[in-house]
Amino acid sequence: MRSRSSARRIPPGLPYHLVLTGERRRVGRGVLALVLLLAGLFGFGGVISVIGSAVDASMGRANPISGGAEFTPVYHAANLVSIALLIPWSMLLQRWLYGVRGASLSSVLSVFRPAVFGRAVLTIVPVWVLYMALFFVLSPYTEKAWTFTDATAVFVVTVLLSPLQAAGEEYGYRGLAFRVAASWGRGPRAAMALGLGVPSVLFAAIHMSTDPWLNLYYLTLGVTFGLMTWRTGGLETSVVVHAANNTLVYLFMLVTHADPLAGADRSAGAGSAIMLLPCVLLVVVTAVVWARTRRSGPALTT
């Protein structure tokens, strides 16, 4: 492994997913990176969930981690924080295993670009509000009686932490995993196929669903987010789409008095053909991103 005293310089003219490519494919190192990424995801989740359960127990409440059935604000916050920690964890793994600065995961400019982020917010969030309203109208759900205190706390936790949770998954899967898997390919087509395929399968697998409709949705999300990242040269757009989706899901649950625990069911039969709606929308958004970059091509490192 490289010396950690200085970061490796990123050559100019590379698309986002090829930043970790070199003369050797370093498959073993890449597998280690992916294993450590998953270890961080489940490790953070395990530790923080136990802490959250202890906090809930001290208040006389029992969330699903402790064998109860209460969707508490503490349980909600613990889940979101544990995934948000993938942001620094992914940066650390890239720097440690590949000698490349963690900040480069944000974009080909090694910064989180406000202009790209702002344009994505203005164009995507209104569309996602309309989609989510239609989705809740068409989808059956189990109702839950929210207390005013719980509803207020879940609202605050969702608005503050759901965007960070979504960003954590993007830095982990469309950031580090995308680059690691792409570095195994010999040639641009193989690199793109591996870069899109491996993280998308991992992303679907961590949701542990046995429902084919839900797995189709997770795979579609993984591939389309990867393509958005490649074309725009950074994670900003996929973070906005992911954050809008996850945040609005919980906000609509509060408005409609839906039960989040019932909505988290991923067993066979939990999904239906309604999942084609977000799949089609993701494909359309990706096509728009592609069209906007058709003349310039994917953004490259400078």
Structure tokens at 95: 């720097």
pLDDT of residue 142 exceeding 90, the answer is no
In a domain, 167, yes or no: yes
Count structural domains, the chain: 1
The pTM of the full predicted model, rounded to 2 decimals, is: 0.95
In a domain, 145, yes or no: yes
As a whole number, mean pLDDT of residues 215-219 equals 98
Predicted confidence (pLDDT) per residue in 72-104, tens digit: 999 999 999 999 999 999 999 999 999 999 999
In a domain, 73, yes or no: yes
Identify the domain containing residue 235 by its residue range.
24-292
In a domain, 9, yes or no: no
In a domain, 119, yes or no: yes
Predicted confidence (pLDDT) per residue in 255-286, tens digit: 999 999 988 889 999 999 999 999 999 999 99
For position 247, what pLDDT does the model report? 98
In a domain, 177, yes or no: yes
Q: What is the mean pLDDT of the chain?
A: 95
pLDDT of residue 17 exceeding 50, the answer is yes
In a domain, 44, yes or no: yes
pLDDT of residue 2 exceeding 90, the answer is no
For position 161, what pLDDT does the model report? 98
In a domain, 12, yes or no: no
pLDDT of residue 1 exceeding 80, the answer is no
For position 4, what pLDDT does the model report? 47
